[in-house]
Amino acid sequence: MSRLDVTEKIITAKVMKGLKWADVAAKLNLSKEWVTAACLGQMTLNAEQAKIIAEIFDLSDEDQKWLMVTPCKGSLPTAVPTDPLIYRFYEMINVYGTTIKQLIHEEFGDGIMSAIDFKMDLQRVADPMGDRVNIVLNGKFLPYKQF
């Protein structure tokens, strides 16, 4: 699967050049969250975006074409993540998942919060007790319909 190869090239180039995702995102006029996901092989770029990314990371024309193909998504190597940072989010679902389900149903009725019509925003919040990470997940509510 060649998109994986392009992802590895991007990551290697980023490490070697000392680039920042926020700067890459700025060049595309898109959020750092979406652009990082795209560079990590989770999103599809259009021709213009693929060209910019290719320039930033010294990618070939072939690589550029792969960036424009919808990838096979899913960025984790195991069903339960082993990396401590990522695991904490899995744990949040394990501890608070049924809570989230109850509260969304209480507010909206039967349905789900979309993970497709979805956006995410991640910010540092200064705090004298130690700075905090603030992540906003925002997704459309999709109701189950009777038929």
Binders in 55-114 for a copy of itself, by CB under 8 A: 62, 65-66, 69-70, 72-76, 78-114
**27 touches a copy of itself by CB under 8 A:** no
Catalytic residue among 88, 107, 124, 132: 88
Q: Could you give the CA distance from residue 36 to residue 28 in angstroms, rounded to a whole number? A: 11
**52 touches a copy of itself by CB under 8 A:** no
Is 114 noted as a catalytic residue in this protein?
yes
**31 touches a copy of itself by CB under 8 A:** yes
String of DSSP letters for 55-103: HHHT--HHHHHHHTSPP-----SSSS--SHHHHHHHHHHHHHHHHHHHH
**22 touches a copy of itself by CB under 8 A:** yes
